[in-house]
């Protein structure tokens, strides 16, 4: 275990918060499909969302990087309707401190972060060097598709984070490459037996001039110290 950084999300005097927010427990016999408002929406809404989904969104980590979850965390569902101050839509990154504060207020969520070494991949430069196209200066954005990914004006560190999903394990950027790039990567969909596209590992090497090398990498874990099942009243 490395670099343990403790912090409580309980009452942060200077934390940002939503202007108005409603959080309601959904009866188990009424739960349905989960939906989350897209980034840039004027209001943040989550329908039939489990608390592990909300914590994942609030802290920017996948649910497998949340530790200390009580047994009910992924089985209870909630409806959230919250409005930030102003009329400008916020990205998920901008929403995170507001969501963290909301979870602290309504669920009395307290967590700490730990950095642990886990089996994953290091993203390094391949033998013949990188094949990267410099970003054209557009607003950074990225998409993970079933058969690949596209990123505009993104850093290689961000690319490494995106590769974690198709690679199936955490990926750490060890290329040393600075700057932002426009990236298009095409690979076979996960679980597809027959495809004309290469695996994500082959695609990274052939199309980007980079390489995924198996090794232990440091990963940040969000550890739940306390959380309550029923949210406080709106």
Instruction: Write out pLDDT tens, residues 164-186.
Output: 888 988 999 999 999 999 999 99
Position 6 pLDDT exceeds 80? no
Distance between CA atoms of 181 and 118, rounded to whole angstroms? 28
Distance between CA atoms of 38 and 101, rounded to whole angstroms? 20
Can you tell me which residue has the tokens 């939503």? 18
- What is the average per-residue pLDDT within 136-151? 83
Out of 4-18, 32-46, 56-70, 154-168, pick the least confident.
Answer: 4-18
């Amino acid at each position: 275990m490395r670099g343990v950084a403790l912090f409580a999300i309980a009452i942060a005097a200077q934390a940002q918060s939503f202007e108005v927010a409603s959080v309601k427990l959904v009866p188990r016999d009424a739960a349905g499909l989960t939906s989350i408002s897209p980034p840039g929406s004027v209001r943040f809404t989550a329908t039939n969302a489990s608390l592990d989904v909300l914590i994942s969104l609030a802290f920017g980590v996948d649910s497998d990087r949340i530790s200390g979850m009580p047994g009910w965390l992924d089985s209870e569902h909630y409806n959230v309707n919250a409005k930030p101050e102003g009329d400008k839509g916020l990205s998920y990154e901008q929403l995170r401190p507001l969501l963290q504060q909301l979870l602290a207020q309504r669920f009395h969520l307290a967590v700490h972060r730990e950095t642990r070494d886990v089996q994953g991949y290091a993203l390094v430069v391949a033998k013949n060097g990188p094949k990267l196209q410099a970003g054209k200066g557009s607003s950074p954005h990225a998409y993970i598709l079933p058969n690949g990914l596209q990123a505009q004006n993104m850093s290689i560190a961000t690319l490494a984070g995106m590769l974690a999903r198709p690679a199936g394990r955490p990926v750490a950027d060890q290329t040393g490459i600075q700057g932002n790039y426009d990236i298009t990567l095409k690979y076979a969909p996960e679980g597809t037996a027959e495809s004309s596209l290469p695996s994500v590992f082959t695609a990274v090497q052939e199309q980007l001039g980079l390489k995924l090398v198996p090794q232990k990498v440091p990963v940040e874990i969000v550890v739940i110290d306390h959380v309550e099942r029923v949210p406080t009243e709106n």
